[in-house]
Chains A and B, each alone.
Chain A
Amino acid sequence: MSASYAAVGWNRQKKIYDWLIFGFCILYLTTFISFTAIFNPEYTFETVLIRSASTLAVLMLHVILSIGPLSRINKKFLPLLYNRRHLGVTMFCIILVHSVFSIMQFHSLSNVNPFVSLFTSNTHFGSLADFPFQALGFFALIIFFLMAITSHDFWLHNLSPKVWKTLHMFVYLAYFLVVMHVMLGVIQYETNPAFIVIIVVGAVTLITLHLIAGTREVRKDNIVYKLNQDGFVMVCDVNDIIEDRAKVFCIDEERIAVFKTQGKLFAVNNVCKHQNGPIGEGKIVDGCITCPWHGYQYLPNNGQSPPPFKEKVCTYDVKLQDTKVWLNPKPYSEGTERPGAVIEM
């Protein structure tokens, strides 16, 4: 969280994260290249570079896509989420190595421009066996490129979180394109079943993780709160909420987080202004609601980030009757001060 833009807001955990990314990439590339050199000595360096980069990028893509659902299923994975964008940008750089070398190798030094060659050499778009798989990789590269260059809070704020998030959801389209790029390309050449088994296991793992995480969310969202009084809905017992934590309630398709802190209850919109993180899964730290994804903070009484920060979320009315918590789902405009509900001891 910072009040001004810097290329990278370095801190200790980001440095550890990036050193691990670097170490893992070097380890994989070294392992792949050295084993190929030892057991397949007729190799050519450009081919082994193209292959090592592509397989590493596919592995990284699986790790990146699994972090989201894993963090939803188990909060202990949140440290992986914190700096996921560096993992994504690194993956793009690896993909770029694969792409540039592939275009140079397969399309350069010919009688047409390499990019024209990419789309005109093989035009069997109607055939699975002959499908021009390199075009699929090219479109995936464009998506990864757009994601990589906008992978900074400057673009997040200027594009708006909604547009930014929508753009970055295209990663799933890119993943599909990558899988098809592999299935219609190298899988049709290689005879060892390891390649297809790994791709299928990867896809099944990702789909399963997303289904588990998604099912949990949907189950929570589908809870119906029947007791209704003057626009207020009874949501839970006050003792169900842990001190300095919140419970999230989905009413009228809006997720609202009710926090309990210092003898009071406060309600704010559950969606963080940074990357749509689940504020309600955060904690009150130093008097501020702290988002679990990237540590963005908001004051519980007005939904405003403490100065000099400018993020604001909607606030809601909440009241107590005996020990029952009643919530009014009608939002106040972002940053509106609300008194909260005093918890009688």
Chain B
Amino acid sequence: MKNEEFYIGWIGSAPDSFAAFIKKYILLLLLIVIVLGVLLSLSQKKFGTGNFEFGTLTQVKGIYFNKPVPNIKVINGKDIWGNANYITVPLIGFGKHGADGTIADIEKEKNISLNGKEVTLKGTLLYNDGKLLMQVDANDQPLVNAASATISADLLPKQKDLGVLDVKGEIVDPKCFFGVMKPGEGKPHKDCAIRCILGGIPPLLKVTDNERKQNYYLIVGPNGEKLNEAVQDFVATPVVLHAKAVKYDDWIVLYVNADNGIQHYSSIKDHYGSLYASCAADCLK
């Protein structure tokens, strides 16, 4: 550097040697910016395929049940064996809230009980992986129609006791997981899932089997009561649930005792532990 070359910011232009050097650095930064932009965008996990029909209201006709979680059972014709085709649509509320409050307000306002009655509800659909849910928001006047009589017994949810199971998975909130947020699971989404569940959205156990196929279990207390607050410390982390499982139509419900039915486990330890165990077994052979 020549002695006369001295950089002063408030002078119109930098000395030639400074300008030439900085240009090279800027070119390097340009390269870093492009490479990092491409690399980081391509390194993200794949976004889920869930869908939230934000801004679109859909009318759904079905039978409302308030247990095990608020839902409507939508019947659509019969299959080739003459059995009713149906899908159970759990209901959730606006924002990070359950649907219970909205339904309770409607029942109070109309002075009726909706449980076991055919209703037409208006709300926003969200769906993924074969599961359909509906957001009901009081601002949308969700109750379009409600029958006065309760439905016949053959339309009640078909229940099947699956026994007591130990199920490993992650507790998520179904609203975000099935469509509102991407990702709606894992550590980055943990706080949101906790808020949704504390707000009344029923907790859901997401279980991934060895073939990467996912199964979903609704979680309630031993007597069907809400377990939302009790699972706060177990959301978005690997857990194992010891629970009685009951199949309700197309959903499985886990009846969990919060005192001893939920435990953390280390998925890493679990994975590598079994890997080391099998490796050791191979070596011994």
- Chain A residues close to B by CB (< 8 Å): 1, 9, 11-14, 20, 24, 27-28, 30-33, 35-36, 39-40, 42-44, 47, 51-52, 55, 59, 63, 75-80, 82-83, 105-112, 117-118, 121-122, 124, 129-130, 132-134, 184-186, 188-192, 194-195, 198, 242-245, 282-283, 285, 290, 292, 294-295
Q: Is the CB of A63 within 8 A of B47?
A: no
Q: Is the CB of A31 within 8 A of B12?
A: no
- Residues of chain A with a CB closer than 8 A to B189's CB: 106
Q: Is the CB of B97 within 8 A of A111?
A: yes
Assembly CA distance A106 to B29 (angstroms): 33
Which of B35-43, B76-84, B108-116, B211-219 contacts its partner?
Answer: B35-43
Closest to A132 in B: B191
Q: Is the CB of A36 within 8 A of B9?
A: no
- Residues of chain A with a CB closer than 8 A to B37's CB: 27-28, 30-32, 35
Q: Apart from A110-B198, A111-B97, A243-B3, what are 19 other A-B pairs with CB-CB below 8 Å?
A: A27-B30, A33-B41, A35-B41, A40-B44, A40-B46, A79-B9, A79-B18, A79-B19, A79-B22, A82-B9, A106-B191, A106-B192, A109-B96, A121-B195, A130-B237, A190-B44, A190-B45, A191-B45, A198-B39
* B9, chain A: closest CB distance, angstroms: 3
Q: Is the CB of A44 within 8 A of B43?
A: no
Closest to A111 in B: B199
Q: Is the CB of B195 within 8 A of A76?
A: no
Given A32-B40, A243-B3, also A186-B12 (CB < 8 A): no
- CB contact between A105 and one of B43, B44, B181 (< 8 Å): that residue: B181
Assembly CA distance A34 to B186 (angstroms): 25
Assembly CA distance A188 to B190 (angstroms): 11
- Residues of chain B with a CB closer than 8 A to A35's CB: 37-38, 41-42
Assembly CA distance A292 to B9 (angstroms): 9
Q: Is B194's beta carbon under 8 Å from chain A?
A: yes
Closest to B187 in A: A188
Interface residues of B in 10-30 (CB under 8 A from A): 10-14, 17-19, 21-22, 25-26, 29-30
How many A-B residue pairs lie within 8 Å, measured between CB atoms? 182
Q: Is the CB of A107 within 8 A of B195?
A: yes
Q: Is the CB of A77 within 8 A of B25?
A: yes
Sample 12 A-B pairs with CB under 8 A, ordered by A number. Answer: A14-B9, A31-B33, A31-B38, A47-B182, A76-B18, A82-B9, A110-B97, A110-B198, A191-B45, A192-B44, A245-B3, A290-B6
Q: Is the CB of B191 within 8 A of A78?
A: no
Q: Is the CB of B47 within 8 A of A40?
A: yes
- Residues of chain B with a CB closer than 8 A to A195's CB: 40, 43
- Residues of chain B with a CB closer than 8 A to A190's CB: 43-45
- Residues of chain B with a CB closer than 8 A to A1's CB: 10
* B266, chain A: closest CB distance, angstroms: 8
- CB contact between B187 and one of A47, A75, A185 (< 8 Å): that residue: A185
- CB contact between A24 and one of B30, B44, B47 (< 8 Å): that residue: B30
Given A198-B40, A244-B3, also A27-B34 (CB < 8 A): yes
